[in-house]
Amino acid sequence: MRSWTVNPPNIEITGLENHSLRIFDSKTQRINLIPKQAEPIQIYVCGITPYDSAHLGHAFTYLAFDLMIRAMRVTKQNVIYVQNVTDIDDPLFERSRKTNKKWTSIVDDQLEIYRKDMQALNIMAPDHFVGVVENIDTINDEIEKTIKRKLTYQLGTKWYFQTRKANKSLLVKDVEDHELITLANERGCDTDTPGKLNAIDPIVWKESKEDEPSWNRDFGTGRPGWHIQCISLANKYAKLPLHIQGGGKDLIFPHHAMCEEQAMALGLGDLATNYCHVGMVSYQGSKMSKSKGNLVFVHELINKGISPMVIRTCLMLNHWQSDWEFQEVDIIKAEKLLEKINTNLTGKYFSRNEFDFILESMLNNIQTPKILEFLSQLDPDKNDERSVPTDTVLSALLGLDLESV
């Protein structure tokens, strides 16, 4: 699947390879070191379901991992970054029926907007930008394994993965079962299907409706469930266990918890050593949601003449783990801040101490609000043998291209 291109500059300073990223892990609830290694760090981030355009919540999520990858690459750590596209999913087919438009055309149109948005925001492209349809054989083969190993059970035309209390994901180890059922129900799972062994058992395979794509396998004619898709793609395009499995906080359950349990059952071991979950962005009093219609689309902001670098700055004013509510005044605040940074820093130089502060703030759990506050107070003019060009640093580490403001 075609992605986009972003090429940050290199920072030529000795000793950068001695630094490592430290990042908050949802499973252990602490900031963990991502140790330096000769092999690439493996990152998998759950991508969009392309039935609508990317909104600020999406942008905030993918910006978080963009910043983590930038920090690692500046410190000379190679990364393999996989991002999937869920181009087989119920909301996509529902949109197709509602608009009387082919689901494949919706995917093509929305992915084109998404690619343009990500490139405009200077968000790093994944090394592997992969869809479900183009990898359907791999996914269906994994489903067959779950059936042959008796990890699943059949109800009519559906196959369900059998969750087991002993294998409960550490992501939700302290959450009571009734709370998980409530969460699963809120997030579209069929918790009340008669015959299920556990209300939260997820679908692995289901019969397709007449206007949906389907595939013929020994275990039925239909299409794959959600969680098994990501497990299959992560195992194909990255090396398990992942160093970072990422997405929004709303993916902790059921998606990431179920992915973890299914991967273990399939004999893949730990799916990931760290789970990074990005805060939720609200608007008009509630989390941005297609069902609520309170979305702020990236491309619409750009079409209004707002610089993508202003949008990026607006997002970086919030720590990646924070839940926050977008207000139009945030754009004005970001414009003023970026104008000040642009005026004071373009074509200047950071001292080595100033650069070290910025780098350390990035490596210590990506503290962009702290960095932006620091930058707003600077008006450097130093240029000695230890100084670092401001434009290079801001572009490489923060993805801020001042010349395009």
- Strand-pairing partners, residue 324, are 281
| Whether the predicted pLDDT of 219 surpasses 70 | yes
pLDDT tens, residue by residue, 64-111:
999 999 999 999 999 999 999 999 999 999 999 999 999 999 999 999
Average pLDDT, integer, range 20-34 = 98
Q: Tell me: pLDDT of 292 over 90.
A: no
As a whole number of Å, the end-to-end CA separation of the chain is: 30
Strands (E) in 195-285, as ranges, are 203-206, 215-217, 220-224, 244-248, 275-278, 281-283
- Mean pLDDT confidence for 194-219: 97
pLDDT at 377: 95
At residue 290, the pLDDT reads 73
Average pLDDT (121-150) is: 98
Residue 355 pLDDT more than 70?
yes
Burial of 380 (C-beta count, 10 Å sphere; 0-12/13-18/19+): middle
| pLDDT above 80: residue 166 | yes
Six-digit token pair at 384?
């000695």
Residue with the two structure tokens 């994901």: 169
What's the rounded Cα separation, in Å, for the pair 137 and 143? 10
- Read off the pLDDT band of 286 (50, 70, 90): confident
What residue has token string 């750009």?
302
What's the per-residue H, E or C state across 275-344?
EEEECCEEECCEECCCCCCCCCEHHHHHHCCCCHHHHHHHHHCCCCCCCEECCHHHHHHHHHHHHHHHHH
Between 352 and 252, residue with greater pLDDT: 252
**How many angstroms separate the most distant Cα atoms in the chain?**
73
Residue type, 347: G
Contact (CB, 8 A) for 158 and 220: no
* Residue 41 backbone phi and psi in degrees, to 5: -70, 135
∠ CA 218-224-226, rounded to 5°: 155
Amino acid at 324: W
What average pLDDT does the structure give for the chain?
95
Number of Cα atoms under 13 Å in the Cβ half of residue 377: 7
Is residue 187 over pLDDT 80? yes
Torsion angle (degrees, nearest 10) of CA 108, 308, 67, 55: -50
pLDDT computed for residue 404 by the predictor: 63
Res 385 pLDDT > 90 = no
What are the b/e assignments for 117-148, b being 16+ CB within 10 Å?
A: bbebbbbbbbbbbbbbbebbebbbebbebbbe
Looking only at the bridges linking them, the beta strands covering 286-287 and 281-283 are: antiparallel
pLDDT tens, position by position, 315-333: 999 999 999 999 999 999 9
DSSP annotation of 228: H
Q: pTM here? A: 0.96
What's the CA gap between 36 and 292, in Å, rounded?
43
Per-residue pLDDT reduced to its tens digit, 142-156: 999 999 999 999 999
Question: What are the φ/ψ torsions at residue 329 (nearest 5 degrees)?
Answer: -65, -20
CA distance 246 to 240: 14
- d(C-alpha 322, C-alpha 62), whole Å: 14
Q: What is the mean pLDDT of residues 354-367?
A: 97
Q: Does residue 188 surpass a pLDDT of 80?
A: yes
pLDDT over 70 at 337, yes or no:
yes
295/280 Cα distance (integer angstroms): 12
Distance CA 178, CA 251 (A): 18
| Residue 113: strand, helix, or coil | helix
Percentage of the chain beyond pLDDT 90 is 91
- % of the chain surpassing 70 pLDDT: 98
pLDDT score for 384: 67
255 secondary structure, DSSP code: I
Neighbours of 195 (CB within 10 A): 10
* pLDDT of 395 above 70: yes
pLDDT band of 185, cuts 50, 70, 90 = very high
Domains and CATH numbers, the chain: 19-278 (3.40.50.620), 316-320+327-404 (1.20.120)
pLDDT band at residue 194 using 50, 70 and 90 as cut-offs? very high
**pLDDT value, residue 240:** 98
Say yes or no to pLDDT of 366 above 90: yes
**pLDDT tens, position by position, 48-69:** 999 998 999 999 999 999 999 9
User: Residue 405's pLDDT is what?
Assistant: 61
Place of tokens 């190993």: 149
